[in-house]
Structure 1
Amino acid sequence: MRHIFLSYPGRWLAGLLALLAVSGTAIAADATPSYDIVGYATGWDPAQTKDVGKIDTLIFAFAHLKDGRVMLDDNGAKGLQTLLALKSENPRLKVAVSVGGWSAGGFSEAASTAAGRQLFADSAAQMLSAQHADGLDVDWEYPGHHESGIRSSPEDKTNFTLLLKAIRTSLDRVGTKDGKHYTLSVAIADGPFVSGVDIPAINPLLDWFNLMTYDFVNANTPTTGHHTGLHVSPLIKGDGRTTDRAVQQFLAAGVSPGKLVIGAALYGREFADVKPDHDGLYQTYGHYQDGINWPKLKSDYINKQGYVRHWDAVAQAPWLWNAKTHRFITYDDPQSIAAKMAYIKTEHLGGIMYWEQTADPTDELLDAMWKGLHD
């Protein structure tokens, strides 16, 4: 899998130099960079199978913790097998399983003891092996934080590292038996939401980081804004979150660019009773309205019913403003995704991740990702 190559550039380079020294001949290596497209999937629309060749990794969402064990219920197991069956269409496809998600608890408790960490790790590895999946994605939202309504502890920072160490050890042990490398990734936020994560300590344990560079503005933030913006808008205040700021935060913590997979959103977020200055951008609002998936944004909102599309050339992000109703919508579209793909290439990142597969049934945004990385 490409991620493994990207995770260990020093080892690869040392091996190449040794080979050159022994052979004394010049080796023309393929210098064309490769980027991964990683999609979270809560399900699968058969109409999307025609585009499965554009995806490198699908991550089934979600397995859950039950009595400290990582488990799939019957419906989850069926959903995972549906994704695994897609390997007949794309033999290169990797299918991982994500455990957790927003408001999914049990992590702090499981990670708090050596026995709990071992049970988590062993049950996860056994589940992957039994299901013939390819890796585990840990989506603890978030260590040391309880905004999602889950239990947290000041010890989460240390325990999260210990948990990932236990998982990596269990995955390697079962992988040796199965004759494969089970990947380990995390779904991880940025800014203040990683105050409970020791990024340098977990970095060597992971194949890659899925940066959740979306939901920067939501029902819990004081203003509207770009919920998945690439760069800092002139209107953003202070240390407001952006994709580039997230990337720089992880790079500064010592993560190599090739292990960073930034996020795209296949949905928008709408705010109501918005202050009209700057066409609603980064303004206070009365209440959060709802999330809207890409197909409905196209059919009912973009330049329709009074919603006018605007483009922030600095942030490289679109938004909709309805001057009559004072409604504001933030979202990703093919133009903002193209900007993210160019950014991935410029920064030599590992690729793009998106939430989530069924929100774009015609794969229009997936196609924009593919074209942006391969044209």
Structure 2
Amino acid sequence: MKFKFTAITFILTFIFSTILLTNTSAQNKNKFIVNGYVGGYRGLVKVEDIDAQKLTHINYAFVNVKDSAAFLTNLKTDSTNFRKLNELKKINPDLKILISIGGWSWSENFSDAALTPSSRKLFAKTSVDIIKQFNLDGVDIDWEYPAMRGEEGNVYRPQDKENFTLMFKDIRAELSKLEAETGRKYLLTAAVGGSKSFVKNTEMAEVAKILDYILIMTYDYGGKTVNHHTNLFPSKGMESGSSAHQSTLDFMAAGVPPSKLVLGAAFYGKSREAETKTNNGLNQPQVLQSKAVSGQSGGFGKLKTEFINKNGYKRHWDRHAKAPYLFNPETKVFITYDDKRSIKLKARYVKKYNMAGIFFWEYFNDPDENLLNVIDKVLN
């Protein structure tokens, strides 16, 4: 009986352990990314104010591109920020810290850096040298935009389409060398524009094979009509317009698996002036280069303090777009933004479509963690 009991106990223990390991693996596999961009370009980051337990990844913005090399413009503050960000791993050992190269203001030299085999190798090596030097976890590329004009003065070429892919191949090769040295896994990601034009001017199916994650900037949508800048779905009457849903479908159609797609959320608002008060400004012609929008909007913390149902602004909800907006009928200024309700719906969308997770710009725009807490509750 003793042997029989021991054997049964062993079998039951083995089965239970197998189930537990399977469930644990499933939980790890299903863990969603919560990636926050942190703006180091301003100087020293208040790292002590970052809630590391609610994040899986931090993308440090930004590293510059100069003479075909990745370049730390603010070496003194950047190096301090890297050291302090790494200390957050004492709180969350699984936290990953990546450098984000480029951005809206520092993308003008990407086309040159990606142009030739020698320039690509230099760019790849210098990118990886930074994460090696500062013991970081990966490289994020924010090229705005390949083969298209971004900020005025940016260099762009038709060859960018192919060179975008080749650049990632070279960075991945350098990361593989570093992995062989250290025995660690390093990440390679990209922040990509949410437009159909971005998809058209890149080889996303090939790029997706190289990258760990693709972060769709499902914000900063615009046009000549007053509308949302970070809406989940189109507004009524604007069905052919931009939306996070349409951007997601476009990238999936281009060959990117949903498991590599990360949905973008805006922790800030954008203001626009409508020509009329009709429909609270929504879908109305926009007054371009309006002076009335100056100083209106900002990060979610500012919106909550100064604008949401304050100072002549009233909050409205677009049930078709699943997005909030503010409107001041006196000035006809319209403010488009994400709030707790829209963020909750975006997080649920990520789960529904089995996407990799959610990311946001920018961490310190929500100092009270109103939006981050919603993401954490839905995805964890």
In the alignment, residue 375 of structure 2 is paired with which amino acid? M
Q: Name the residue aligned to 2:71.
A: 71
| Structure 1 unaligned blocks of 5 or more | 1-22
The answer to whether the 8 A contact 1:216-1:228 is kept is yes
Q: 1:191-340 counterparts in 2 under 5 A?
A: 191-217=196-222, 221-236=223-238, 238=240, 240-286=241-287, 287-288=289-290, 289-290=293-294, 291-340=297-346
Shift of 1:25: 12
C-alpha separation in 1, matches of 2:263 and 2:331: 33
Q: For the structure 1 residues 340 and 127, does the alpha-carbon distance in structure 2 shift closer, same or farther, using more than 3 Å as the test?
A: same
Cα distance in 2 for residues equivalent to 1:78 and 1:195: 39
Secondary structure of the corresponding residue to residue 259 of structure 2: helix
Residue correspondence of structure 1 range 14-93 to structure 2 within 5 A: 28=19, 29-30=22-23, 31-32=26-27, 33-43=30-40, 44-46=45-47, 48-49=49-50, 51-72=51-72, 73-74=74-75, 75-93=77-95
Return 5+ residue gaps in structure 2 as ranges: 1-13
Structure 1 residues 47 and 361, CA, compared in 2 at 3 Å: closer, same or farther?
A: farther
- Normalising by structure 2, we get a TM-score of 0.87
| Contact 2:199/2:251 (8 A) holds in 1 | no
RMSD over aligned CA atoms reads 1.9
Q: Deviations over 1:21-58 (max 9, x none)?
A: xx999954224432110010014435524x21000000
| In structure 2, distance between residues paired with 1:275 and 1:112 | 47
Aligned-partner SS, 1:295: helix
Does residue 161 of structure 2 align to residue 164 of structure 1?
no
- Which structure has the larger Rg over C-alpha atoms? 2
CA distance in 1, matches of 2:46, 2:237: 39
| Aligned-residue offset at 1:301 | 0.6
Q: CA deviation at 1:137?
A: 0.2
Q: Structure 1 residue 250: deviation in Å? A: 1.1
The count of corresponding residues between Structure 1 and Structure 2 is 347
Instruction: State which drifts further: 36-45 or 299-308.
Output: 36-45
* TM norm structure 1: 0.88
CA distance in 1: counterparts of 2:208 and 2:16, whole angstroms: 35
Q: How far apart, CA to CA, are the structure 1 residues paired with 2:285 and 2:264? A: 25
Corresponding residue for 1:18?
A: none
Question: Are the aligned partners of 2:226 and 2:286 in contact in 1 as well (CA < 8 Å)?
Answer: yes
- Whether contact under 8 Å (2:104, 2:150) holds in the other structure is no
**Alignment partners' CA distance in 1, 2:61 and 2:237:** 35
What percent identity do the matched residue pairs reach? 36
> Residue 155 of structure 1 aligns with which residue?
159
CA deviation after TM superposition for structure 1 residue 233, in Å: 1.2
